[in-house]
Amino acid sequence: MAAFVTFEDVSKVYHSGEIEIRAVDHISFTIEKGEFCVIVGPSGAGKTTVLNMLGGMDACSGGTITVDGTRVSGFNARQLTTYRRHDIGFVFQFYNLVGNLTALENVELAAQICKDPLDAATVLNEVGLSARANNFPGQLSGGEQQRVAIARALAMDPEVILFDEPTSALDPEMVGEVLSVMQKLAQEGLTMLVVTHEMGFARNVSSKTVFMENGVVVEQAPSHEFFAHPREERTREFLRKIEHTA
Ligand code: ADP
Ligand code: MG
């Protein structure tokens, strides 16, 4: 049986005037149901583009993406709308909460556009924020706001949740609380694809690591193997550099 999520020879080319930008260049990888996959790599590698294509926010220029046996890369605009509302949760670097709605109302708002939403209070409890349900975003810390954003994605009861650098905008002391929520979701068997620079987290919590650079997948492996025995020289160089800056 095919994997739950498959990327097969997927490309994305942007045209900027005369210039052609190969943001993603013939990549293939798979994610099993319940798997926690991370994408690591330097800025400009094409990581966000991968999430946007899987999330139905950006069309592929070539190749095939499937989710649960359905060819997402062939969807028309209407099918994409349904797909974004029912099947995919997205957590961004900047949480984008509505400032004049409470934490609970922000989660309820997202639930309104999908078919079978989970109870907003229940998912807020899941991210440890029951006590903050009636606070406005401006009254919450960055870490708490990002946890509301995670609850908002969870409320849609998606098949897959995509995280694009969910802790990059946070003060260091708030990174841990967001990572622990994500770790808990992974343990509960949610299918997750996460772009992150948190190498310790990727190494210890994720099941698979995909390393991208310049639009291509340089190396992919079970995470314990990827970090313990990287095969490619380029991967070793990247991991060394990250260690020195962390
Ligand atoms: P990453 O998330 O790994 O930093 P991105 O996926 O954002 O990388 O970008 C990959 C490449 O594609 C970069 O060179 C970026 O400038 C380019 N790119 C991304 N989005 C667009 C766009 N909408 N138009 C033109 N170029 C883009
Ligand atoms: Mg990015």
pLDDT tens digit string along 182-241?
999 999 999 999 999 999 999 999 999 999 999 999 999 999 999 999 999 999 999 998
Q: Is the pTM of this model over 0.85?
A: yes
Strands 160-164 and 88-91: parallel
pLDDT the model gives residue 110: 87
Give me the percent of the chain exceeding a pLDDT of 70. Answer: 99
**Among 21, 40, 50, 238, residue to substitute to test ligand 1 (most atoms within 8 Å of Cβ):** 21
- Phi, then psi, of 96 in degrees rounded to 5: 55, 45
**Among 24, 49, 210, residue to substitute to test ligand 1 (most atoms within 8 Å of Cβ):** 49
pLDDT the model gives residue 111: 86
Ligand 2: centre distance to CA 12 (Å): 14
pLDDT the model gives residue 157: 94
Give the strands of the sheet with 216-222, arranged side by side.
88-91, 160-164, 191-195, 36-40, 208-213, 216-222
pLDDT band at 88 (very low <50, low <70, confident <90, very high): very high
Could you say which ligand is closest to the alpha carbon of residue 94?
Answer: 2
Residue closest to 124 by CA, chosen among 150, 143, 99, 100:
150
Dist CA 156 CA 137 (whole Å): 20
> Residue 243 pLDDT > 80, yes or no?
no
pLDDT the model gives residue 245: 63
Dist CA 107 CA 123 (whole Å): 8
H helical segments located in the chain: 47-54, 77-86, 103-112, 120-126, 142-155, 172-187, 199-205, 223-228, 233-245
The alpha carbons of the chain give a radius of gyration, in whole angstroms, of 18
CB atoms within 10 A of CB 1: 4
Predicted confidence (pLDDT) per residue in 129-142, tens digit: 999 999 999 999 99
59 lines ligand 1 (CB under 6 A): no
Please tell me the total number of residues recorded for the chain in this structure: 246
Residue with tokens 């990549």, as numbered in its chain: 27
DSSP 8-state symbol, 82: H
Residue closest to 124 by CA, chosen among 145, 99, 98:
145
Dist CA 72 CA 201 (whole Å): 29
Type of residue at 49 = T
Tokens of 23: 């943001």
Going by CA atoms, what residue is nearest to atom 20 of ligand 1? Answer: 49
pLDDT band at 114 (very low <50, low <70, confident <90, very high): confident
pLDDT the model gives residue 193: 98
